[in-house]
């Protein structure tokens, strides 16, 4: 012990680039703040937010069920159906993509790399824009929403599935290869049993995300609860906005709970 | 000899697991899918019929009208600004919320359970829906978009952070408690150094998501490039829409790349 007990421990060295990073951050924020035109808050802002809050606490219960046509329950059911079908379609489509972009399943880094690239391209394409394109093809309605979710989710699900395939244990594969199994048999008996729980869990996770997306697809006319919501917002029918918001929150919370419980049991 | 034949009669393989549960699950899933298909009126004949329409649309998109780039450049920058400010505001708000919902820091159940419950409620509302609400309150422009993104980021960052907070090493905290440190000191010297890289990484991740979200917020009038989708699609100028999509994709991919490189350096 050469050090005396009261000698100070030296302070850890600071990052050399610290000042530079701070400087860059300051410039970025100055740029960001300078560009936002501040035109003042509307005088009615307080009143409107009070009305929305009041609407949340005195919702239009009559809207929950109307015997003829558009009501809350049917809207929510529609939203749920869109996300179920959308998730199912994307799960089917993304499996070949996942095997394509998994590095241990395809030959060469180039092939798997191109698959990953394609998936990230699909991922960046906003689903709302996709829905606009599908509306042009199949007309406004829930089906356009289903197709948009189905195609958009492929990007994320494909990536997660590919990661799952890359993380499997090679033992069973090699054992099957050693006894002379065909590629298809290896896939069926060694790969699928290992990845299936992960696949299902990610599918449910994506289903939760899709449910949230499906609630807003209606804003551009792709079905679901979003259409009556945007209609109620534009006609300033705050009680109805309140009940729809409540309905969305309750539905998503319940579905999250169910899906979370199933996912915990899967993995 | 008798013993041997008896042995042979015994089943050599273990019994196959009961499959009734799986059949049951498959039946439920099929029922859900069928119900959803009926609810959304999904017919794939319609899709095949509509495909030529979509191809026409894609044909009209090309070649993209590059001269339109000058009109949307400012809106694209505004989109990035909105994402930046929204994420920053959300991150600042998320710090106290995350601390209050972490079981090892808030320590009292009556604190962290209600806070977590509120946090889950906030996370159920999708960003575009928040934007639609804020547009109703504050009027058109970038401001409601920033607020919507801030609330959305608050939910995401606070959730990720409190889960990370609960896994930090309790050693330094206990040592400081033993030395009689004030709770603020414990957080400053015991918690912050452990959580900082994770927190910055979450903020960057949220920023990536927010750039994508900000690109479509304009559809409900909350500023940014999304507004131009409506303008160009409304006038059926698909070659201009194509430019918007390309620019958005390029910016999102660039920001993703920078952000993921930074995140790799952090952890």
Residue A61: band (very low, low, confident or very high) from pLDDT cuts 50, 70, 90:
confident
Cβ atoms within 10 Å of A28's Cβ, excluding its own:
14
Please list, in sequence order, all residues whose beta carbon lies within 8 angstroms of the beta carbon of residue A99, skipping any fewer than 6 positions away. A105, A106, A162, A165
Per the CB < 8 Å rule, is A223 touching B124? Answer: no
Tens of pLDDT, residues A116-127: 888 888 888 888
The 3-state DSSP composition of chain B as helix, strand, coil percent (nearest 5) reads 85, 0, 15
- Give the residue from B17, B24, B36 with the most A CB atoms within 10 Å of its CB, the best one to mutate: B36
Per CATH, the number for A63-266 is 1.10.3720.10
Least confident of A135-144, B72-81, B89-98: A135-144
Report helix, strand or coil for B242: helix
Question: Closest Cα of chain A to B1: distance in Å?
Answer: 33
| pLDDT score, position A14 | 65
Question: How far apart, in whole angstroms, are the C-alpha atoms of residue A9 and residue A152?
Answer: 54
Q: Which of residues 22-61 of A touch B (CB under 8 A)?
A: 28-29, 31-33, 35-39, 41-42, 45, 48-49, 52
Per the CB < 8 Å rule, is A219 touching B216? Answer: no
> Over pLDDT 70: what percentage of chain B?
95
Per the CB < 8 Å rule, is B33 touching A84? Answer: yes
| pLDDT score, position B7 | 54
| pLDDT score, position A41 | 67
pLDDT exceeds cutoff 90 at A207 = yes
Per the CB < 8 Å rule, is A142 touching B219? Answer: no
By residue count, chain B amounts to 267
Q: So what's the ipTM on this one?
A: 0.79
Tens of pLDDT, residues A16-25: 777 888 888 8
User: Which one of A84, A129, A141 has the shortest CB-CB distance to B216?
Assistant: A129
Interface size A-B, in CB pairs within 8 Å, comes to 152
pTM tops 0.90, yes or no: no
Q: DSSP for B76-139?
A: HHHHHHHHHHHHHHHHHHHHHHHHHH-HHHH--HHHHHHHHHHHHHHHHS-HHHHHHHHHHHH-
DSSP B219: G
A-chain residues near B121 (CB < 8 A):
249, 253
Contact status, residue A243 vs residue A182, Cβ threshold 8 Å: no
Looking at the complex, does the CB of residue A259 fall below 8 Å from at least one CB of chain B?
A: no
Tokens of A235: 């006609």
Domain boundaries defined on chain A: 63-266
DSSP B63: S
| pLDDT score, position B5 | 56
Question: Per residue in A95-113, is it b (16+ CB within 10 Å) or e — as a string?
Answer: bebbbbbbbebbeeeeebe
| pLDDT score, position A38 | 67
Counts for chain A of helices (H) and strands (E), in that order: 11, 0
pLDDT exceeds cutoff 60 at A227 = yes
| B21 against A214, higher pLDDT | A214
Question: Closest Cα of chain A to B249: distance in Å?
Answer: 6
How many Cα atoms sit within 13 Å of B126 on the Cβ side? 25
Question: Closest Cα of chain B to A118: distance in Å?
Answer: 12
Average pLDDT, chain B: 85
Closest CA relative to residue B247, chosen from B113, B81, B64: B64
> Over pLDDT 70: what percentage of chain A?
93
Tens of pLDDT, residues B100-157: 998 888 888 898 899 999 998 888 888 888 888 888 888 888 888 999 999 999 999 9
| pLDDT score, position A94 | 92
- Which helix H or strand E contains B31, and what residues bound it? helix B20-40
Tens of pLDDT, residues A142-165: 888 888 999 999 999 999 999 999
Question: How far apart, in whole angstroms, are the C-alpha atoms of residue A233 and residue A247?
Answer: 15
Average pLDDT over residues B94-101: 92
Tens of pLDDT, residues B216-245: 888 888 888 888 888 887 787 788 888 888
Q: Which CATH architecture has domain B64-266?
A: Orthogonal Bundle (1.10)
A-chain residues near B82 (CB < 8 A):
36
């Amino acid at each position: 012990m050469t050090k005396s007990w009261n000698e100070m421990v030296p302070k850890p060295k600071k990052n050399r680039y610290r000042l530079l990073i701070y400087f860059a951050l300051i410039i970025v924020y100055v740029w960001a703040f300078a560009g936002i035109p501040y035109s003042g808050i509307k005088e009615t802002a307080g009143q409107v937010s009070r009305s929305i809050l009041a609407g949340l606490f005195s919702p239009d219960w009559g809207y929950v069920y109307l015997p003829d046509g558009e009501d809350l329950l049917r809207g929510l059911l529609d939203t749920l159906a869109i996300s179920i079908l959308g998730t199912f379609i994307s799960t089917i489509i993304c499996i070949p993509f996942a095997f394509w972009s998994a590095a241990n399943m395809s030959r060469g880094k180039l092939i798997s790399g191109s698959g990953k690239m394609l998936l990230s391209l699909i991922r960046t394409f906003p689903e709302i824009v996709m829905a606009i394109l599908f509306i042009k093809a199949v007309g406004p309605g829930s089906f356009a929403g289903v197709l948009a979710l189905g195609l958009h989710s492929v990007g994320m699900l494909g990536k997660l599935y590919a990661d799952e395939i890359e993380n499997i244990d090679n033992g069973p594969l090699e054992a099957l290869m050693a006894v002379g199994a065909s590629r298809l048999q290896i896939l069926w008996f060694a790969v699928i049993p290992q990845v299936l729980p992960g696949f299902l869990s990610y599918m449910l996770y994506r289903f939760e995300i899709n449910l949230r997306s499906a609630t807003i697809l209606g804003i551009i006319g792709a079905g679901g609860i979003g259409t009556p919501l945007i209609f109620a917002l534009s006609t300033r029918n705050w009680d109805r906005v309140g009940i729809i918001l409540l309905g969305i929150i309750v539905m998503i919370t319940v579905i999250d709970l169910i899906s979370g419980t199933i996912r915990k049991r899967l993995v | 000899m008798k013993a041997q034949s008896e042995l042979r009669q015994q089943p050599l393989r273990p019994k196959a697991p009961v499959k009734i549960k799986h059949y049951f699950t498959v039946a439920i899933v099929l029922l859900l899918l069928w119900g959803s298909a009926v609810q959304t009126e999904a017919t794939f004949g319609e899709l095949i019929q509509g495909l030529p329409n979509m191809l026409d649309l894609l044909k009209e998109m090309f070649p993209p009208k590059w001269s339109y780039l000058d009109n949307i450049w400012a809106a694209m920058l505004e989109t990035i600004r909105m994402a930046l400010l929204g994420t920053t505001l959300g991150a600042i708000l998320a710090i106290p919320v995350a601390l209050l919902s972490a079981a090892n820091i808030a320590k009292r159940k009556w604190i962290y359970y209600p806070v977590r419950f509120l946090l889950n409620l906030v996370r159920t509302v999708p960003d575009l829906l928040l934007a639609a609400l804020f547009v109703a309150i504050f009027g058109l422009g970038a401001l409601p978009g920033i607020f919507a993104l801030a609330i959305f980021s608050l939910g995401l960052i606070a959730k990720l952070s409190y889960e990370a907070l609960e896994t930090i090493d309790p050693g330094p905290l206990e040592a400081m408690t033993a030395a009689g440190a004030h709770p603020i000191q414990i957080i400053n010297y015991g918690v912050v150094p452990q959580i900082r890289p994770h927190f910055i990484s979450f903020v960057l991740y949220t920023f990536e998501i927010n750039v994508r979200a900000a690109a479509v917020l304009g559809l409900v009038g909350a500023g940014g490039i999304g507004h131009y989708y409506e303008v160009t699609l409304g006038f059926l100028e698909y070659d201009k829409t194509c430019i918007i999509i390309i620019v958005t994709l390029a910016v999102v991919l660039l920001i993703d790349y920078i952000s993921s490189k930074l995140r790799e350096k952090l952890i």
